[in-house]
Amino acid sequence: MTSTISISIDGKTCECPMIIGSEGERALDISHLRAATGLITLDPGYGNTGSCQSAITYIDGEKGILRYRGIPIQEFVEHPNFVEVAWLLIFGRLPKKAELARFSVRLTDNAHLHEAMKHNFEGFPATAQPMAITSAMINTIGCFHSELFLPRDDPETEEAAARLISKIRTIAAFTYRKVRGLPYIYANPRLRYCANLLHMMFSMPYDEHVIDKEIEDAMNLIFILHADHEQNCSTSTVRMVGSSQANLFASCAAGVCALWGPRHGGANVAVLEMLERIHQGGLTAEKYIELAKRKDSDVRLMGFGHRVYKNYDPRARILQKTCEKVLKKLKIKDPLLDIARKLEELALNDSYFVERKLYPNVDFYSGIILRAVGIPTNMFTVMFVIGRLPGWIAHWKEQHDDPTTKIARPRQIYTGLVNQHYVPLDQR
C-alpha cells in the first residue's frame, strides 16, 4: 500500500504521508500542502477533516460501532459503572480493584463544593439557564484548585479528574435546587456516584430520597453512553481551547457551552419539547414528519440524524430498551414514549430519512428516561455534561501529554471587500 500520496498543483508537488489508524482507517496528512503548493483545503463543518490522532474512542458510523479504549459499549450494559468507565477513558485501561477503590474515595472526598460557592449560586436569577450556571461553576471550581490547572502527571490528573467529576454532580444538584428555591442537600459519603446525585437532587432535609438499584443502574448506563464520542463539537471545543494551553477547568467550561446547542447536547431538550408539542395536540406525528422534511421549514426531527452514524446509533438501541425497563419498573405509562415509537416507525419507513441515512441518535430516548426519574427537561443537557466530562478530560489529557501538540488555528478563504479606504466619520 502506498505510504505517500503526491499532490501536484501548478507544477508544485506535495508529498502527503498516508496515516493509517489501528482499525485501518486512512487519512492523508496535508499539513505541508500550503507550504509546498500555496493551497489550503476547505471543509466547512470539518466533515472530512481529522483534527488529531486519538486512542480513546473508535466509531464506525456505517456499521454502528462504538468502542471505548477498544471495548464495545454493549459490554458495559451488564455491569454499568460510570466511575470505572471514566477511569478507563482517562487512563487508557480498566482500573484494577485498588485503583478503582482509590478513585472512588477521591470522588467521595471531593463531593463538596467550597462553602463560598453557595454565594455564586445565589447570584443567579431563578430563571437562569442551568447550562449557563454549569459552565460558570466549572470555571469557579477551577479558581479554588488552580494548583491543578495543568496536571503534570497521572496522580495529579487523577486528582483533578476526581474533583471535576465529583463536583459536577454537586453543581448539577445545586443548580436544580437553586432554580426551584429548595435547600441544598449535601453529598452522602455512603452513597455511590449516581445514587448520590439523585440524593442531592431529590432528598429533603426531613425526607431521604429512596434510590432504587435499577434506576441507579439506568443512570450509570446513561452516563456511560454519553461518556465519549471522539471529535464531536464539544470535545473538539475542549481540545481547541486546551491547545492554547488553557487550563483543564476552562477547557471543560468551554465544552459545556458547545454542548448546549440543540444540534448537539441540547437535542435531548429539543426532543422532549417536540414530543410534548405533539402530545398537546398541536401536531400529529405524521404532520411533524412532513414538516421535518420540508426545506422551507427550520423544523428537524430532533434526536434523529448524526454526522458520523449512517446506521442506527448503538447508544439509542441500548437506551430504547433501558427506557422500557425504567418505565416498567416505575410503573409509568408515558404517552411520549408511544409518540417517540410512532415517529421512529414513520421515519424509518420514509424515503426522505432512509435515503439520508437518518436514524435515532442518543438523544431520542434518553429524555423519556430522565423524565421518568424526575429530572426536569431544562436539566437534561446538564446530565449530558456529567456523562461527557470524563471524555473531555481524557481528550484534554491526551492532547496535553502529546509534546507535538500545536495550537489549533484553522485557516480561511477570505471573501470580503478588497482595496477599501478609511473614510472619516463626517464624510460617510
Would you give the DSSP letter of residue 23? Answer: T
Residues 6+ apart with CB under 8 A from 330: 215, 372, 373
Name the residue number minimizing CB distance to ligand CMC: 305
DSSP β-bridge partners for residue 60 = 65
The C-alpha atoms of residue 195 and residue 217 are separated, in whole angstroms, by 9
Catalytic residue among 264, 306, 395, 400: 306
Q: State which residue, 159 or 230, has the beta carbon closest to ligand CMC.
A: 230
Backbone angles phi, psi at 327, to 5 degrees: -65, -40
Runs of H (alpha helix) within 77-207 = 82-91, 97-109, 117-122, 130-144, 154-180, 193-202
Instruction: Residue 172: name the closest of 149, 212, 202, 127 by CA.
Output: 202
Backbone angles phi, psi at 27, to 5 degrees: -140, 150
Segment holding 18, helix H or strand E: strand 12-20
Catalytic residue among 217, 228, 313, 363: 363
Q: State which residue, 157 or 322, has the beta carbon closest to ligand CMC.
A: 322
DSSP β-bridge partners for residue 14 = 7
Cα 305 to chain centroid distance, Å, stands at 16
Compute the least distance from the CB of residue 237 to ligand CMC, in Å: 12
Torsion of the alpha carbons at 227, 386, 195 and 167, rounded to the nearest 10: 130
Q: State which residue, 61 or 376, has the beta carbon closest to ligand CMC.
A: 61
Extended beta strands in 293-403, E state: none
Q: Is 306 a catalytic residue?
A: yes
Compute the least distance from the CB of residue 186 to ligand CMC, in Å: 31
- Strand 12-20 and strand 4-9: the pairing is antiparallel
DSSP β-bridge partners for residue 8 = 13
Q: State which residue, 45 or 183, has the beta carbon closest to ligand CMC.
A: 45
Q: State which residue, 254 or 301, has the beta carbon closest to ligand CMC.
A: 301
Contacting positions for ligand CMC (CB under 6 A): 45, 232, 263-265, 267, 292, 300-307, 356, 358, 361-363
Count other C-beta atoms under 10 Å from residue 428's C-beta: 5
Q: State which residue, 166 or 361, has the beta carbon closest to ligand CMC.
A: 361
Q: Is 363 a catalytic residue?
A: yes
Catalytic machinery residues: 306, 363
